Amino acid sequence: MSILVYIEHAEGAIKKTSLEAVSYASALAEKEGKEVVAVALGAIEENELAKAGTAGAQKVLHIADEKLNAGVIQAHASAVAQAYEKAGADTLVLAKSSLGDAVAARLSVKLKAGLASNVVALPDEDGGYKVKRSIYTGKAFTSTLITTPHKILAVKKNAVPLKEYGGAATVEALDVTLEEGDFAAKITSTDKATGEISLPEADIIVSGGRGMKGPENWNLIEDLAKAMGAATGCSKPVSDSGWRPHHEHVGQTGVKVAPSLYVAVGISGAIQHLAGVNASKNIVVINKDPEAPFFKAADYGIVGDAFEILPKLTEAIKAIK
């Protein structure tokens, strides 16, 4: 038996969240005495796929059909289901993401598999197959019992360490049969987020709120983010006002993030924003209002004027680097 990992990639590189999923699968495989096989769909170089071996995969199945490049969900689900059978797997591991969630739901039906999402730890297999999951936007945990022979585990970002084993995986081409119905949905256009680092993949995020007073001051946020190697985000009022594009909106109704470090500048900390960021490992709040609700959720706080603090902080980080 094997554990299959569904790999996502963008701009020719495997996503960090997928490598985390491979690391998780590797730890699970070691526990259960299985091998880890990954599957990647669409156009990506073989040498990049081989890097999955550094996270613990022994083999990568590459389904290179160019029709899969667009990311049509049903087609991806059909292709992964065939790879699952080819690999002789009984467990599918993938990163929790917008694409991963949709694919996992369809595969749960196709494979008749129990599905657990937001997984944060290896299963407890004493007296059943119990999976620890994050719930209520990271405010609590629950233990979910999966009773089906086949299982799907969607791993939460930054919940498990990304391990490097040092080896390269072998890459094997795999042909699958895709029906016309797999492409019944058509993607007519795609608007890609701009910026060097995408919010879902970012390990560090610097976000600004209305305390920045206007888009003309956003260079202070961008300068700090660049110095830290971070992505930039914003609160909902900022995106609603047109100061920043909507794909930078972080919160319950925007992008939910779980970076190692989240820096909130001039954001009061409304519950809707907190719901999208409270899975962050560390939160730093910069606000001139000492009563700002965000301070209650912060690991570290700075009370002061962002227009004075940010340039000094940026210069200090540059000096350290």
Those residues with Cβ within 8 angstroms of residue 218's Cβ, 6 or more apart along the chain or in another chain: 208, 212, 243, 244
Given the DSSP bridges, would you call strands 9-10 and 13-14 parallel, antiparallel or unpaired? antiparallel
Question: 2-183: what fold?
Answer: Rossmann fold (3.40.50)
* Binding residue numbers: 210, 266-273, 287
pLDDT of 192 higher than 70: no
Q: Predicted confidence band at 195 (pLDDT cuts at 50, 70, 90)?
A: low
- Binding-site positions for FAD: 210, 266-273, 287
Task: Give the orientation angle of helix 306-320 with respect to helix 219-228, to 10 degrees.
Answer: 20
Percent of the chain with pLDDT over 70: 98
Whether 204-320 and 2-183 are alike in CATH topology: the answer is yes
Question: pLDDT (tens digit, 9 = 90+) per residue, 103-122?
Answer: 999 999 999 999 999 999 99
Residue 194, pLDDT score? 57
What's 20-72 look like in SS3?
A: HHHHHHHHHHHHHCCEEEEEEECCCCHHHHHHHHHHCCCEEEEECCHHHCCCC
Residue 193's pLDDT band (cuts 50, 70, 90): low
List, for residues 210-241, the tens digit of each pLDDT value: 999 999 999 999 999 999 999 999 999 999 99
Q: In what order do the strands lie in the sheet with 231-234?
A: 231-234, 204-208, 261-265, 282-287, 300-303
Backbone angles phi, psi at 305, to 5 degrees: -80, 120
Band of residue 321 on the pLDDT scale cut at 50, 70, 90: confident
What pLDDT digit, counting tens, does each position of 137-171 carry?
A: 777 899 999 999 999 999 998 888 888 876 899 99
Residue spans per domain, the chain: 2-183, 204-320
Whole-number Å distance between alpha carbons of 235 and 223: 18
* pLDDT at residue 53 is higher than 70: yes
Beta strands of 136-184 (E only): which ranges?
140-145, 151-155, 170-173
Q: Which fold has domain 204-320?
A: Rossmann fold (3.40.50)
Residue 165: the pLDDT is 74
> 153 and 207 in contact (C-beta within 8 Å)?
no
pLDDT at position 293 over 80: yes
Residue 124 gets which letter from DSSP? B
Q: Mean pLDDT across the stretch 88-98?
A: 95
The pLDDT, as a whole number, for residue 189 is 73
Q: How far apart are the first and last CA of the chain?
A: 47
- Name the maximum alpha-carbon separation found in the chain: 60
